[in-house]
Structure 1
Amino acid sequence: MMVWWGPADPAEAARRRGLPEGRPSRLKMAVPDADQMTITRHPVRLVPLSQALPALWELAVGNQSSDSLRAWRVATRITLSTRDPEQLRQLAEVMPPAAHPIVTDTDEVWTPESLLAAFVSAVHQVSAASSPTPRRLRESKNQLARNTAVVATLRPYQRHGVAWLRRVAEQHCGGILADDMGLGKTLQAIALLAERRPALPHLVVCPTSVLGNWARELHRFAPDLPVVRHHGPDRAIRIEDAGFTPGSVVITSYTLMLRDIDLLAQQDWDVVILDEAQQIKNHTSQTARAARALPAQVRLALTGTPVENRLSELWSIMDFANPGILGNHRRFSKRFSEPIEMRRDTRAAERLRNIVEPFLLRRMKSEVATDLPAKQESIVACTLTTEQAQLYRAAVKQAMDAGFGAGFERHGRILKLLTQLKQICNHPAQFLKQTQPLPQRSGKLTRATEMLAEALDEGSQSLVFTQYRAMGELLAEHLASELDLPRVPFLHGGVRQADRDRMVERFQTEGTPIMIVSLKAGGTGLNLTAATNVVHYDRWWNPAVEDQATDRAHRIGQDKPVDVYKLVTGGTLEERIADLLERKRSIAEAITGTGEEWISRMDDAQLRSLIVLSEDVVAE
């Protein structure tokens, strides 16, 4: 026997599927015999579980004994309160072994363990859909939080956000605050923490690069909230020594959350906040698993990009915030990811949007922050030097002559070639692992130097983003020499937190003319509104990541227009990929974008047309 679950009127839904109440139908089952498993069709009837679970109905198979029926009912009631695989396994051992249902569309035999896991997931979905929580959350998006506990004047859309966060907390569920970058997600989250008076501490998990920013923002907007930094070599290793007092805000990094999960999971938290929650977009990663293990009354995810590459990333973040609401990952892929990503199924996208919408709040700058200054984006074409062209042709020829192979080998070889070509477009010295000489060898470096010199003459401050630490170091040395600057700071992952904070502070308050920023280390969480020029020296080939970096300058607090320049080397894969980038945004925007992985799935002819150098683009 098994349980059938469905909408508010399951009996009517069952009748539409040919299973009228009280009359037998047939169900395809795998029945274990003494020597083998035979596939048969058994008569079944629909039995309401009115006393235990009114929203669920039972399919009683054949002439199962009353003892088996009672055993199944006990098991189903117990599983509602657990998602522990070991407990599900123990329950599966006492389930009636007479038959296992077969999923029609895949011919997969459901074992007792998989059936119980699916049942638990479905109960969570049914409970969420039938409760008043989604309606209340939708209503709260149109409400204004009139009084807040933060020392700040909130914009109207931010007060809408606080009202929604309050309702999420009142319902003891979770939510994703996915406002566009720079709209003040941190401030809205702090407003929620500041007004709660819990008997438990709060936990904020964020990238290392923004630990200092969270501490400063908490002190600025909620000075009465105690702040505990769980960071550094002197952090507590025992829960008794941690100082996680009621109402305090504990700040830690994703790295230390993973490393110290045994400690952090011992503590019951009031609100757990994941900042830059795309850090857990890979649901199989240890970081994502650790985040899901944190016990909390309320779970909030803050991210400007709930979907960067694939819909599975949205599933991972939402499963942290509201476990089970989107079902298990395999079922989610079949119902939503595959139809939407492979077939652009608009009905599947609409169904997913309806489920997610109450628990996700996303506002765009163009919609709510009309007082932000303009942002002008430009593609700047650069030419190759003769040296660059020779290196580029040689790298392409060597790779094409050797072939790309198949499977993982092909994937690795293509990504290696892409890296080589990007480095050559940046500067031959980066590709050849040289430090000198730098001038006149790269058309891109020459153009960037000219642009930054103009900005310097105008008295403007500039940010230069690169994804390569080696290129950042070359840029810092070259620009200081060419523009007669004492030094050009370079913020990257190897900079200590205290030095990073000082670097940002000097840029914001002392007028540092140019700062180079590693796209990975500084693409999220930083407030660099002193800049009015943003230069993307090399392309990440993921619009969401580049937008995050740009919005370090174009965000709340910026009072001047921001000019964004994306450098592209003409006639190379950089120029062709720039033309393709806009097409890669569609999947993410269908619900609320993609790195180099999609290029590795091209066949040889497509790849050749993408990478081969046009012969009319070399600088004389």
Structure 2
Amino acid sequence: MARRGQRQTGNTRTAPRQQRAARPLEKGDIIRVLARAVREVEAKAQRGPLTAAGRTKFQVVALLVREERTRVKNQKDISEPQRAEQLKRLDGVATILAQTVALDPTVYPLLDENAVFTDAADTLRTEMLQAAGIEQATTTKAADDDVTPAAAERRVVPQSVISRQLANPFLAPDFSAVTQRADSPKRLSTWELLGPLFRAFEYGGSSSCMPLPEPGFLMTPGGLELMPHQAQVVAAAAEGHRTFLLADEPGLGKTAQALLAAHAADAYPLLVVVPNVVKTNWAREADLWTPSRKATVIHGDGDSIDGFADIVVVNYEVLDRHVGWLGDFGFRGMVVDEAHFIKNKSSQRSQHALELSERIRNRTARPLLMALTGTPLINDIEDFRAIWQFLGWIDDKKPLAELMEKLEATGLSPADHGFYSAARTSVISMGIVRRRKVDVAADIPARRIADLPVELDDAIGRSIRDSERELARRLVARYDSALETRSAGVVVDGIDHDLVRRVATWEREDTDNEKTGENVFTMMRRIGQAKAGLAADYAAQLSRNVGKVVYFAKHIDVMDVAEETFAKRGIKFTSIRGDQSAKARQAAIDGFTNDEDVEIVVCSLTAAGVGLNLQVASNVVLAELSWTDAEQTQAIDRVHRIGQEEPVTAWRIIAAQTIDGKIAELIDSKAGLAARALDGSDEEVSSSADIQLEALVALLTEALESR
């Protein structure tokens, strides 16, 4: 039988492998590179599920096929037969991609243009382009004329944005606050300064935080109370400081600080660029902290955004579609969350963020620019090159005017002994703010739960919301039927809440007896599966920022997704499951607590919820909701134990716009009841069945109120 790629016709024989020399790649022959790569991926898929490296290569090939197809279609200097031939070759690569999906269906989501594109994928894309002799631009582009045809075709302008532009067509650059500068001093003009500035941070120092003013106020426009360390940053913005590298540890409220700094600086409209997993949370936080400022979130092509909003939230993965109109929108402030995402200046996400920052600085005098990251400043300081450039402190070659003036004022040069300490202080004064939990422990609770809403905006998410609506319709039909058949003479004005509770009880009993298809229990199970990747993604980001993280899930498949995510990202982890031997379990615990390289322990809620001491960490991710507060508390208490020296934060991942949020509220409401019962109350502590019943009651009541 002929092997794939070898033809046998008549008496023709394939030459021995050692006698065949590979034809050298032609300059720009990207299709040959893609064909070779996709065959490698297919061959691996034939042997079993693809590894992390194989999945990355699959995703990069799919992306480059789309880009090359667009380029070929728009190429002006080739004939139609040549165009048809190249498109045919690309179809061949696409066919093998489809065959690979048939062999390993788990790679299908990677074909989505909104799929997360990791740094490893960015690097591989660059390598494949270089192998084909194609050079990538590494400098930011400031005008739409400089974009490639493929990038231009992906760009969109939402209709609501066009409406805003038509409503205010004379938006002019703001140069009102530009200060007149004298000629810059020349003492350091001949020195190479960026390298010494980075080395200044490698040498360390007493503080990584700029001097901050005393908080002017603790109450916010939304009526919430700020913690003193948060109010200090807001006060600095109110006093006129306009660039911040806010590097507080997770759990110290960087989101609130950024939103309120924008309020204090009147930096509206405000652009917020974030990872996909937290963009819904940013909109929610904006509603809490600055309720007078409308926030809108860009999903996909932005068809649902409000073009007249004050705060525009966009995730890195779709930034390439919107960078054109965003640069002309007239933003007076910009925030990048998880700013280490832009550390690789050759990546598209970094180039787009730098381009937008430059365009905002070019048309707005002293805009508010904030880079948020929990990554310690002393690690990989070269990673901050792109962040400093985003903030306008440096360009590709040298410090810019404000930082240069601070360096000149020291009277020192890199040849002087005291330069590095003075340079470090100069950079920090530009706006570096770094506080750890232990630094502000008096400000924050010893144990708190922080909800992180995530958007399920894929096919699975839509299916879950459809199922929830179907369950609500079934409950309403049951309620109406009971209302019609009950005894005559009973008159109720509005909703009969007693009947609502009886209908919810019947539904729950049917669930217990497995008489219904989709129910509240199976729905929560599906929500947990849909959140798995997003929860793991956030845990990975968290470990990158703070070190060790405890990740809890209820179901094995959710744990599997987490472990696969961590493996793909090169994050070392251990796992505690119910089917482990005592020896394996102890080895996993010891690995997490004693090995500095082990960043995450993946735990089963039922297997690891009791009897463990994991206080080496102070951050917990709850990927799935429990049915009782007690189970949730037991998990958190694996970290919040006697001897824990840092405040503990439990990050609870909530699927926005689903019943997940209702369940979380019910768990929290029952927590107070449980506490009272333990303190001697006669009230009975709620069970998981109670939570399910109350969720059904809430679902039915909401459906009846809305009709």
TM-score, L = length of structure 1: 0.39
Identify the structure with the greater helix proportion: 2
Identify the structure with the greater strand proportion: 1
